Amino acid sequence: MLLALDIGNTNITLGIWNGRSWLHHWRLLTNPAQTADEYGIILKMLLQDAGVLTAVDQAIMASVVPALGHTFSQICTQQLKVPLLTVSSELSMGLTILADVPEAVGADRLVNAVAAYELFQGPCIIIDMGTATKFDLVSAQQEFLGGVIAPGLGLAAEALASRAAKLSHVALEAPPHTIGTNTIHAMQSGLVFGYLSLIEGLVARLKGEHPDRFQKIHVLGTGGLIDLMAPHTAVIDHIDPWLTLTGLRVIYERVTR
Protein backbone atom coordinates (compact mmCIF):
# COMPACT_ATOMS: atom_id res chain seq x y z
CA MET A 1 0.00 0.00 0.00
CA LEU A 2 1.06 3.56 -0.71
CA LEU A 3 1.34 6.23 1.98
CA ALA A 4 0.93 9.72 0.46
CA LEU A 5 2.04 12.76 2.47
CA ASP A 6 1.37 16.41 1.68
CA ILE A 7 3.30 18.65 4.09
CA GLY A 8 1.79 22.15 4.02
CA ASN A 9 2.36 25.26 6.11
CA THR A 10 -0.90 24.86 8.03
CA ASN A 11 -1.86 21.20 7.65
CA ILE A 12 -0.31 17.85 6.87
CA THR A 13 -2.62 15.62 4.84
CA LEU A 14 -2.07 11.90 4.60
CA GLY A 15 -3.74 9.11 2.68
CA ILE A 16 -3.49 5.35 2.18
CA TRP A 17 -3.94 4.07 -1.40
CA ASN A 18 -4.52 0.34 -1.82
CA GLY A 19 -4.07 0.28 -5.60
CA ARG A 20 -7.78 0.86 -6.31
CA SER A 21 -9.07 3.47 -3.88
CA TRP A 22 -8.20 5.62 -0.88
CA LEU A 23 -8.76 3.63 2.29
CA HIS A 24 -8.17 6.47 4.73
CA HIS A 25 -7.47 10.23 4.82
CA TRP A 26 -6.12 12.25 7.74
CA ARG A 27 -5.33 15.90 8.36
CA LEU A 28 -2.83 16.97 11.05
CA LEU A 29 -1.72 20.39 12.22
CA THR A 30 1.69 21.45 10.94
CA ASN A 31 4.25 22.05 13.69
CA PRO A 32 7.87 22.41 12.49
CA ALA A 33 9.05 22.08 16.10
CA GLN A 34 7.56 18.58 16.40
CA THR A 35 10.27 15.93 16.35
CA ALA A 36 10.48 12.81 14.19
CA ASP A 37 9.83 10.72 17.31
CA GLU A 38 6.65 12.67 18.11
CA TYR A 39 5.23 12.71 14.58
CA GLY A 40 6.34 9.10 14.16
CA ILE A 41 4.26 8.03 17.15
CA ILE A 42 1.21 9.88 15.77
CA LEU A 43 1.62 8.41 12.30
CA LYS A 44 2.11 4.85 13.52
CA MET A 45 -0.91 5.14 15.80
CA LEU A 46 -3.06 6.28 12.84
CA LEU A 47 -1.80 3.46 10.65
CA GLN A 48 -2.21 0.92 13.45
CA ASP A 49 -5.76 2.07 14.17
CA ALA A 50 -6.58 1.76 10.46
CA GLY A 51 -5.10 -1.74 10.38
CA VAL A 52 -2.52 -0.92 7.70
CA LEU A 53 0.70 -0.37 9.68
CA THR A 54 2.42 -3.46 8.31
CA ALA A 55 0.73 -3.21 4.89
CA VAL A 56 2.30 0.13 3.93
CA ASP A 57 5.35 -0.67 1.80
CA GLN A 58 5.92 2.53 -0.18
CA ALA A 59 5.56 6.27 0.34
CA ILE A 60 5.56 9.53 -1.59
CA MET A 61 5.80 13.05 -0.19
CA ALA A 62 5.39 16.65 -1.31
CA SER A 63 6.59 19.22 1.21
CA VAL A 64 6.77 23.01 1.34
CA VAL A 65 8.19 22.93 4.88
CA PRO A 66 11.84 21.83 4.56
CA ALA A 67 12.29 20.97 8.24
CA LEU A 68 9.26 18.70 8.24
CA GLY A 69 10.23 17.20 4.90
CA HIS A 70 13.39 15.99 6.60
CA THR A 71 11.38 14.85 9.64
CA PHE A 72 8.98 12.69 7.63
CA SER A 73 11.80 11.35 5.50
CA GLN A 74 13.35 10.05 8.71
CA ILE A 75 10.04 8.58 9.85
CA CYS A 76 9.46 6.71 6.59
CA THR A 77 12.96 5.31 6.17
CA GLN A 78 13.92 4.68 9.80
CA GLN A 79 10.65 4.00 11.64
CA LEU A 80 8.29 2.63 8.99
CA LYS A 81 11.14 1.07 6.97
CA VAL A 82 9.58 2.01 3.62
CA PRO A 83 11.25 3.72 0.63
CA LEU A 84 10.18 7.35 0.15
CA LEU A 85 9.83 9.21 -3.14
CA THR A 86 10.05 13.00 -2.69
CA VAL A 87 8.45 15.26 -5.31
CA SER A 88 10.57 18.04 -6.82
CA SER A 89 10.70 19.87 -10.14
CA GLU A 90 13.46 17.48 -11.26
CA LEU A 91 11.19 14.44 -10.98
CA SER A 92 9.90 13.05 -14.27
CA MET A 93 6.18 13.39 -13.56
CA GLY A 94 4.85 14.04 -17.07
CA LEU A 95 4.46 17.78 -16.47
CA THR A 96 6.37 20.40 -18.45
CA ILE A 97 7.20 23.27 -16.09
CA LEU A 98 7.28 26.63 -17.88
CA ALA A 99 8.02 28.74 -14.79
CA ASP A 100 11.10 30.97 -14.96
CA VAL A 101 12.74 29.03 -12.11
CA PRO A 102 11.16 25.55 -11.97
CA GLU A 103 12.91 24.55 -8.76
CA ALA A 104 11.33 27.53 -6.96
CA VAL A 105 7.76 26.31 -7.63
CA GLY A 106 6.20 24.68 -4.57
CA ALA A 107 5.90 20.91 -4.83
CA ASP A 108 2.22 21.09 -3.89
CA ARG A 109 1.50 23.34 -6.89
CA LEU A 110 3.13 20.87 -9.27
CA VAL A 111 1.31 17.92 -7.72
CA ASN A 112 -2.04 19.72 -7.99
CA ALA A 113 -1.34 20.48 -11.64
CA VAL A 114 -0.65 16.80 -12.36
CA ALA A 115 -3.86 15.78 -10.56
CA ALA A 116 -6.00 18.35 -12.37
CA TYR A 117 -4.79 17.32 -15.80
CA GLU A 118 -5.23 13.64 -14.95
CA LEU A 119 -8.85 14.32 -14.00
CA PHE A 120 -9.86 16.42 -17.02
CA GLN A 121 -7.23 15.79 -19.72
CA GLY A 122 -7.37 19.45 -20.69
CA PRO A 123 -6.61 23.02 -19.62
CA CYS A 124 -7.29 23.78 -15.96
CA ILE A 125 -7.15 26.45 -13.29
CA ILE A 126 -6.56 25.11 -9.79
CA ILE A 127 -7.59 27.21 -6.79
CA ASP A 128 -5.92 26.02 -3.59
CA MET A 129 -7.15 27.80 -0.46
CA GLY A 130 -4.76 27.11 2.38
CA THR A 131 -2.18 29.25 4.15
CA ALA A 132 -1.96 31.10 0.83
CA THR A 133 -4.65 31.31 -1.82
CA LYS A 134 -3.03 29.97 -4.98
CA PHE A 135 -4.22 29.90 -8.57
CA ASP A 136 -2.25 27.63 -10.92
CA LEU A 137 -2.70 27.08 -14.64
CA VAL A 138 -2.24 23.95 -16.73
CA SER A 139 -2.39 23.92 -20.51
CA ALA A 140 -3.94 21.42 -22.91
CA GLN A 141 -0.40 20.07 -23.46
CA GLN A 142 0.04 19.30 -19.74
CA GLU A 143 2.27 22.34 -19.15
CA PHE A 144 2.49 24.15 -15.83
CA LEU A 145 2.10 27.76 -16.96
CA GLY A 146 2.48 29.59 -13.63
CA GLY A 147 -0.15 31.30 -11.54
CA VAL A 148 -1.05 33.70 -8.76
CA ILE A 149 -0.28 33.62 -5.02
CA ALA A 150 -2.31 35.77 -2.61
CA PRO A 151 -2.48 35.82 1.20
CA GLY A 152 -4.75 33.12 2.54
CA LEU A 153 -8.16 33.91 3.99
CA GLY A 154 -7.02 32.81 7.46
CA LEU A 155 -3.98 35.07 7.28
CA ALA A 156 -6.14 38.01 6.22
CA ALA A 157 -8.54 37.42 9.12
CA GLU A 158 -5.65 37.12 11.58
CA ALA A 159 -4.00 40.30 10.31
CA LEU A 160 -7.27 42.26 10.49
CA ALA A 161 -7.92 41.26 14.09
CA SER A 162 -4.33 41.69 15.28
CA ARG A 163 -3.61 45.06 13.65
CA ALA A 164 -6.91 46.90 14.29
CA ALA A 165 -7.43 47.82 17.95
CA LYS A 166 -11.23 47.68 17.88
CA LEU A 167 -11.61 44.57 15.72
CA SER A 168 -11.57 41.07 17.13
CA HIS A 169 -11.45 37.56 15.70
CA VAL A 170 -14.60 36.41 13.92
CA ALA A 171 -15.80 33.03 12.71
CA LEU A 172 -14.88 32.43 9.07
CA GLU A 173 -18.37 32.06 7.68
CA ALA A 174 -20.58 33.97 5.30
CA PRO A 175 -22.80 36.65 6.89
CA PRO A 176 -26.52 36.81 6.04
CA HIS A 177 -26.05 39.81 3.74
CA THR A 178 -23.20 41.59 1.97
CA ILE A 179 -24.04 44.81 3.82
CA GLY A 180 -23.00 44.18 7.39
CA THR A 181 -25.18 45.93 9.95
CA ASN A 182 -22.76 45.12 12.79
CA THR A 183 -19.00 44.85 13.06
CA ILE A 184 -18.90 41.05 13.02
CA HIS A 185 -21.03 40.76 9.88
CA ALA A 186 -19.12 43.59 8.23
CA MET A 187 -15.81 41.79 8.83
CA GLN A 188 -17.22 38.46 7.65
CA SER A 189 -18.53 40.13 4.51
CA GLY A 190 -15.17 41.70 3.77
CA LEU A 191 -13.36 38.44 4.33
CA VAL A 192 -15.67 35.89 2.72
CA PHE A 193 -17.30 37.94 -0.02
CA GLY A 194 -14.11 39.91 -0.54
CA TYR A 195 -12.24 36.69 -1.25
CA LEU A 196 -15.08 35.50 -3.45
CA SER A 197 -14.60 38.62 -5.54
CA LEU A 198 -10.86 37.89 -5.60
CA ILE A 199 -11.54 34.37 -6.85
CA GLU A 200 -14.10 35.39 -9.47
CA GLY A 201 -12.05 38.35 -10.69
CA LEU A 202 -8.80 36.39 -10.99
CA VAL A 203 -10.47 33.41 -12.66
CA ALA A 204 -11.89 35.75 -15.30
CA ARG A 205 -8.51 37.41 -15.85
CA LEU A 206 -6.66 34.09 -15.96
CA LYS A 207 -9.10 32.61 -18.45
CA GLY A 208 -8.62 35.70 -20.62
CA GLU A 209 -4.83 35.22 -20.63
CA HIS A 210 -4.84 31.42 -20.82
CA PRO A 211 -3.31 30.19 -24.10
CA ASP A 212 -6.23 27.74 -24.43
CA ARG A 213 -8.88 30.37 -23.73
CA PHE A 214 -11.01 29.24 -26.67
CA GLN A 215 -11.36 25.78 -25.13
CA LYS A 216 -13.26 24.68 -22.05
CA ILE A 217 -11.04 25.53 -19.07
CA HIS A 218 -11.93 23.52 -15.98
CA VAL A 219 -11.71 25.30 -12.63
CA LEU A 220 -10.92 23.06 -9.66
CA GLY A 221 -11.01 24.02 -6.00
CA THR A 222 -9.04 22.40 -3.19
CA GLY A 223 -7.55 23.25 0.21
CA GLY A 224 -8.94 23.50 3.70
CA LEU A 225 -11.03 26.64 3.08
CA ILE A 226 -12.48 25.87 -0.34
CA ASP A 227 -15.70 24.39 1.10
CA LEU A 228 -16.45 27.79 2.66
CA MET A 229 -16.33 29.52 -0.73
CA ALA A 230 -17.74 26.99 -3.16
CA PRO A 231 -21.46 27.37 -2.28
CA HIS A 232 -21.34 31.11 -3.02
CA THR A 233 -19.85 31.11 -6.52
CA ALA A 234 -20.49 29.48 -9.88
CA VAL A 235 -16.95 29.79 -11.26
CA ILE A 236 -15.65 26.62 -9.56
CA ASP A 237 -16.55 23.51 -11.57
CA HIS A 238 -15.23 20.81 -9.28
CA ILE A 239 -14.26 20.53 -5.60
CA ASP A 240 -11.70 17.99 -4.38
CA PRO A 241 -10.33 18.55 -0.85
CA TRP A 242 -7.84 15.70 -1.41
CA LEU A 243 -6.60 16.79 -4.85
CA THR A 244 -2.95 16.86 -3.77
CA LEU A 245 -3.10 13.26 -2.57
CA THR A 246 -4.55 12.27 -5.95
CA GLY A 247 -1.63 14.00 -7.64
CA LEU A 248 0.86 12.20 -5.42
CA ARG A 249 -0.71 8.86 -6.31
CA VAL A 250 -0.61 9.67 -10.06
CA ILE A 251 3.03 10.78 -9.89
CA TYR A 252 4.06 7.67 -7.98
CA GLU A 253 2.42 5.46 -10.62
CA ARG A 254 4.06 7.39 -13.46
CA VAL A 255 7.53 7.29 -11.92
CA THR A 256 7.50 3.65 -10.82
CA ARG A 257 5.67 1.93 -13.66
Residues forming the active site: 108
Distance CA 86, CA 97 (A): 17
| Summary count for the chain: helices (H), strands (E) | 8, 11
Give dist(CA 241, CA 147) in Å, integer: 20
Rounded to the nearest 5°, which phi and psi values hold at 230? -55, -40
Find the Cα–Cα–Cα–Cα dihedral 228, 229, 233, 237, rounded to 10°.
-100
